[in-house]
Structure 1
Amino acid sequence: MASSENEMPPSDRTGDAGRKDERELPCDVRAAFRRPRSVSEVAEWDLNAKWFGVSPLVLMENAGAAVAQVVRERRPKARRIAVFAGSGGNGGDGLVAARHLSAWAEVDVYLCASPDRLRPEDVRVNWELVWNSPFVRTHVCPRAEDAREIARRLDAEEAYDVVVDALLGAGSRGEPREPVRTAIEVIREQRRRGAFVVSVDLPSGYPEARRVEADLAVTFAWDKDAYEKDPFPRVVVPIGYPLDVAFRAGPADVRALVAQPWTRKGERGSVFVLGGSARYPGAPLLAARAAHLLADLVTVSVFAEAPNFPVPHELIPLRLPGKRFTRDHLPALEEALRRAHAVVVGPGLGRHPETICALRRLWPLLAERGIPVVVDADALLAWSRPRSPGEASPKAHLRPFPAVLTPHAGEFRRLAALLGLPPQEDIAQGEGAFSAPPLVAEACTVIELARRARAVVLRKGPVDVVAASDRWAYNTTGDPGMTTAGTGDVLAGLVGGFLARGAAQGLLSTPGKDGEGLAFRAAKAAAFVNGLAGEIAAGERGGPWYTADDVLRSLPVALRRAAEFA
């Protein structure tokens, strides 16, 4: 993927997916400078781009104008042009192309849908522009008989010089249905009679046998790997698609994990929060309350000799003797672990040697059960290998998977030292590497830590960086006041809640859905929502004069804004 400033001029693709960037990028961020993996991911990128101010209407205008430019370059003497448009975004691109083409040719638009069924709204806007234009002839054929009547009429007329196919986009599935089915046959017949056929993005009906036979397809922003299975002639053109949308956390990450409005009790998952100590008794409650906004059931540890905080009625307390977590407590966790879809470990636990030793014995228990885990605060110190025989267990080499580590800058440095990570400069600037922007250089370090830790890492800061072994992202929501104590506990709880929802939906076992992918998504979604809640709290308080409780109270609004954004 490339931005409008950096893209190469349009170039033909006839089965060649295109050369990758030959520059030596630092670290492994080159793997993240990528094209989308699926049509659904393109839709997610579009949604996130819209959230951050990139208008879909502008992208549609750029796409349609690019199609018109390609047509004019390839057939400069064309005088009669037909545009067949469908009801979706692909059709909208075609309508824009028709408007631009009408400046130098006679243009007929055949809308193979009812105008009141055009989606999204940008398509309707462009239909109104074409419908009201005195320079474009419009024909509406929403039914099969309408399309057949058009076919009979066109058979009796001279063929068009150019036909633009904007019926179906990459998101369509299965055999085309009427009236598109008949429209495809009309386009095929026009081509047999000499028309030059240009498809928008890909030939309508692809990859089915009944599809448009295009002389050329105009594909936008990046070439698609899926087209290599059954290649066709195509040109890739820039439309101003923002480069950073591939890396930025946004509402699409939230929607992907919460888009189940109707569920039965228990289908949103269960979370166990292991935290608290005599010094920090409130931290696990903050994490548990945040997790409960996403999960149906949340259990939280409460130590008998720690200061007594009231446990909210909706949470299930797991009462443990003593004032801190030790390995003597491990058997008592059995029931909570048995029903947990995700575990949050660390808020308020402290770094007493007995606690660190117990945590290193806990990891194999979670690993054997396949329970996703969020590791926060001082529990991060226990993520490295045991350093003495007294700390080791028979299965000390096991680590939970998937796992999300949530260090702030200081914890990140300590964890990096424990895992033997070189300085950031050594990682970011390898031999032959170009000078990386600061955020990219930082991403290199976080990626390397994620590889060594065998976990997803969410490095908290003014800009959060999320990294797995082969991908990274960043989040810009948030407010300076979020340095206040407790907001990190809220974030850990959110990650746990998103992990539990994903695990309960079967995203850990669905073919093609890897655990690291779920952990990466959960970390992105949590960082985005947590920061958005901080922004809302700051707005209500008139500045950074708020607490973690205020962030918690803002979370439902933040979640709703993200989940309902379209």
Structure 2
Amino acid sequence: MWILSYQQLLDVEQFTASQQSTTLSQLMERAGRACFEVLLRNIQPGCRVHVFCGSGNNGGDGLVVARHLLENEVPCFVYLNADRTHCSDLFEEQLSLIQMDFPKFIMKWEDFTSEITNSCDILVDALLGAGCTGPLRSGLQEIIFLMNQSQGIKVSLDLPSGLSVDAHMSVEGIFKAEYTLVLGAWKRNLLHPEYAEYCGTLIFVPIGLEFPEGLRSIYGCTVDTESVRSIYRSRSNFSHKGDYGKSFLIGGSLSMCGALLLAVRASLRSGSGYTYAVGPDECRVVLQTAAPEAIFLDKDDFEADQVHQVFGIGPGMGTGAESLALLRHLLQNSCFPVVLDADALNLIGQNRELMELIPPMSILTPHPKEFDRLFGLHASSFARLDTALQIAKKNKIIVVVKGHRTQIVCPDGNIYYNLSGNAALAKAGSGDVLTGVITSLMAQNYDPIQAAVLGVWIHGRSAELVSLTKGIESVVASDIIEGLCLVYSELNAL
């Protein structure tokens, strides 16, 4: 799904109304009703809900939510700005509906006191949503400050008030939601770490928006179950191992055999017909014992071989002179895109001329510190993403900027934000697992962009699934490998 700018959001709403022969008022009713249904499923009996509405369309959404709550006999109080000189027409329409049946539950912002703050159960923020385009006025700052003091569960409709759809904002004064109900389309600022603590858990709420054919966004699109369904290819019962390629994982050193082993095992679990472990002789016993399905090749014997296809280079290989010579040789002689991670990236950062040797459509998978070692320090994730886009276009490569909401940045300018994964991935070795997964997918003849997008999603989904039984803190990289079978079972069931 495309990540839309503020203007694109407005255009899509108009397009949807036109395509469905409906009105913007009916779309607002649909959006508010959908949010109400999410809330109703999670409200405990007796909970009191306090809905704070601005005077724009986000406030109108909030009024729809409040009206449905009251109609279903959920205790609900609505707080409005006493100064309503600049109200949207849709807000006025929804206000007249709720005033008709529930006038005694409508209050002013000023009525929300510190005493009420300590006693309310759920706060719903419908002050601004996507309508925030500049600094907050003093009245909004004051009510948001008071709302943030509440001990109740805090829910924002579409975006936390004070946060823009796509402009860089100061975090000062933003409503700090525990849950954000994302209405109909993703917004860029919801997906970046700078604002994550203000957005809480993101819950996507479909509202039936339709998108014009040919729509594109400079902000890219999201990777979710629906998008990977269109990439993943199930296997024919008449296929054999030769149909699924050969992946070569290259790395390892005396103290880091485990990194190469993780990549090799991930490749085996991700479907490559043959998986080769290419490392120093001191890793031979470890690899052949722990991954008997893989074929071990000594890196000194492998160095002169120029005919192999898909290389995943870097896990545990070290940054010494021998590793540098091997990396240079592989980059100069590979006829196919390669996957570069860990020490391969560190070597490139120390020897910048290697950037020019990277085959087109190769995949780099840096975490933020590796990225900054490669391309210089960056003040924000937005700046890092801008640099990744420039590098991808210039060098015709794919840059996987790892983190929560990992971004896959492509040479054609497309950016894919991955929606799977959790903090279980914040462990040593998880990047080695990702290298093995992506390399395996490339060996199976997924094109590099497909391999990166699908591989990142599978990796994150595995972390989600194994966390359900092991707990986020207890998950290690080997668990993520074992969870891959659960992900492939899901994909085959789609």
1:521 correspondence with 2:450: yes
Once the two structures are TM-superposed, the CA of residue 481 in structure 1 deviates from its matched residue by 2.6
RMSD between superposed Cα atoms in Å: 3.6
Q: Cα gap change, 1:245/1:415 in structure 2, threshold over 3 Å: closer, same or farther?
A: closer
Once the two structures are TM-superposed, the CA of residue 69 in structure 1 deviates from its matched residue by 5.7
Corresponding residue SS for 1:473:
strand
1:399 paired residue number: 358
Q: Deviations over 1:323-371 (max 9, x none)?
A: xxxxx8521x44xx43x3x2101111011133123312220101xx2x2
Once the two structures are TM-superposed, the CA of residue 251 in structure 1 deviates from its matched residue by 2.8
Once the two structures are TM-superposed, the CA of residue 273 in structure 1 deviates from its matched residue by 0.8
Q: Cα gap change, 1:536/1:356 in structure 2, threshold over 3 Å: closer, same or farther?
A: same
Once the two structures are TM-superposed, the CA of residue 444 in structure 1 deviates from its matched residue by 1.8
Corresponding residue SS for 2:445:
helix
Runs of 4+ in 1 over 6 A off after TM superposition: 9-12, 62-65, 242-245
Corresponding residue SS for 2:11:
coil
1:296 correspondence with 2:273: yes
* Alignment check: 8 A CA contact 1:487 1:551 kept: yes
1:359 correspondence with 2:327: yes
Rg: which structure is higher? 1
Q: Which has the higher helix share?
A: 2
Where in structure 1 are there 5+ consecutive unaligned residues?
13-61, 71-218, 227-241, 322-327, 418-422, 426-437, 504-517
1:531 correspondence with 2:490: no
1:485 correspondence with 2:428: yes
Corresponding residue SS for 2:473:
coil
Q: Cα gap change, 1:467/1:314 in structure 2, threshold over 3 Å: closer, same or farther?
A: same
1:374 correspondence with 2:339: yes
Q: Deviations over 1:134-167 (max 9, x none)?
A: xxxxxxxxxxxxxxxxxxxxxxxxxxxxxxxxxx
Corresponding residue SS for 1:279:
coil
Once the two structures are TM-superposed, the CA of residue 256 in structure 1 deviates from its matched residue by 4.0
Once the two structures are TM-superposed, the CA of residue 563 in structure 1 deviates from its matched residue by 4.4
CA distance in 1, matches of 2:394, 2:217: 28
CA distance in 2, matches of 1:541, 1:385: 39
1:414 paired residue number: 373
* Alignment check: 8 A CA contact 2:234 2:492 kept: no
* Alignment check: 8 A CA contact 1:250 1:525 kept: no
1:255 correspondence with 2:244: no
Q: Cα gap change, 1:564/1:244 in structure 2, threshold over 3 Å: closer, same or farther?
A: farther
Match of 2:20 among 66, 72, 80: 66
Q: Cα gap change, 1:523/1:545 in structure 2, threshold over 3 Å: closer, same or farther?
A: same
Q: Percent identity?
A: 25
TM-score, structure 1 as length reference: 0.48
CA distance in 2, matches of 1:244, 1:475: 16
Q: Counterpart amino acid of 1:264?
A: S
Report the more deviating stretch, 343-352 or 297-306. 297-306
Match of 2:296 among 317, 320, 327: 317
Once the two structures are TM-superposed, the CA of residue 244 in structure 1 deviates from its matched residue by 11
Q: Deviations over 1:279-332 (max 9, x none)?
A: 1012122112211222111111142134731242221111345xxxxxx8521x
Q: Cα gap change, 1:500/1:329 in structure 2, threshold over 3 Å: closer, same or farther?
A: closer
CA distance in 2, matches of 1:3, 1:382: 38
CA distance in 1, matches of 2:337, 2:248: 11
1:7 correspondence with 2:10: yes
CA distance in 2, matches of 1:375, 1:9: 39
Corresponding residue SS for 1:457:
strand
1:271 correspondence with 2:247: yes
CA distance in 2, matches of 1:346, 1:352: 12
Q: Deviations over 1:59-89 (max 9, x none)?
A: xxx779823569xxxxxxxxxxxxxxxxxxx
Q: Deviations over 1:365-422 (max 9, x none)?
A: 01xx2x221001010134469569xxx9xxx9542222000111111111113xxxxx
1:15 paired residue number: none
CA distance in 2, matches of 1:245, 1:564: 31
* Alignment check: 8 A CA contact 2:17 2:23 kept: no
CA distance in 2, matches of 1:453, 1:65: 41
2:471 paired residue number: 542
Matched residue pairs, number? 303
Once the two structures are TM-superposed, the CA of residue 249 in structure 1 deviates from its matched residue by 1.5
1:446 correspondence with 2:371: no
Q: Counterpart amino acid of 1:443?
A: L
1:47 paired residue number: none
* Alignment check: 8 A CA contact 1:253 1:521 kept: no
Q: Cα gap change, 1:487/1:385 in structure 2, threshold over 3 Å: closer, same or farther?
A: closer
Match of 1:555 among 478, 484, 492: 484
- Return the structure number with greater relative CO, CA threshold 8 A, min gap 6: 1
CA distance in 1, matches of 2:491, 2:435: 19
CA distance in 2, matches of 1:538, 1:282: 22
Match of 1:224 among 192, 205, 213: 213
Once the two structures are TM-superposed, the CA of residue 268 in structure 1 deviates from its matched residue by 1.9
1:350 correspondence with 2:310: no
Q: Cα gap change, 1:253/1:68 in structure 2, threshold over 3 Å: closer, same or farther?
A: closer
The correspondence of residues 146-157 of structure 1 with structure 2, limited to 5 A, is: none
CA distance in 1, matches of 2:281, 2:364: 28
* Alignment check: 8 A CA contact 1:357 1:382 kept: no
Q: Cα gap change, 1:245/1:472 in structure 2, threshold over 3 Å: closer, same or farther?
A: closer
CA distance in 2, matches of 1:482, 1:549: 11
The correspondence of residues 19-418 of structure 1 with structure 2, limited to 5 A, is: 66-67=20-21, 221-225=210-214, 247-262=221-236, 264-265=239-240, 266-292=242-268, 293-306=270-283, 308-309=285-286, 310-320=289-299, 330-331=303-304, 333-334=305-306, 337-338=307-308, 340=309, 342-366=310-334, 369=335, 371-383=336-348, 397-417=356-376
CA distance in 1, matches of 2:14, 2:365: 43
2:398 paired residue number: 456
CA distance in 2, matches of 1:8, 1:257: 29
Once the two structures are TM-superposed, the CA of residue 252 in structure 1 deviates from its matched residue by 4.3
* Alignment check: 8 A CA contact 2:363 2:448 kept: yes
Q: Cα gap change, 1:459/1:365 in structure 2, threshold over 3 Å: closer, same or farther?
A: same
Corresponding residue SS for 1:488:
helix
* Alignment check: 8 A CA contact 1:482 1:534 kept: yes
Q: Deviations over 1:17-65 (max 9, x none)?
A: xxxxxxxxxxxxxxxxxxxxxxxxxxxxxxxxxxxxxxxxxxxxx7798
* Alignment check: 8 A CA contact 1:384 1:453 kept: no
CA distance in 1, matches of 2:252, 2:369: 20
Q: Cα gap change, 1:257/1:501 in structure 2, threshold over 3 Å: closer, same or farther?
A: farther
CA distance in 2, matches of 1:453, 1:244: 20
Corresponding residue SS for 1:299:
strand
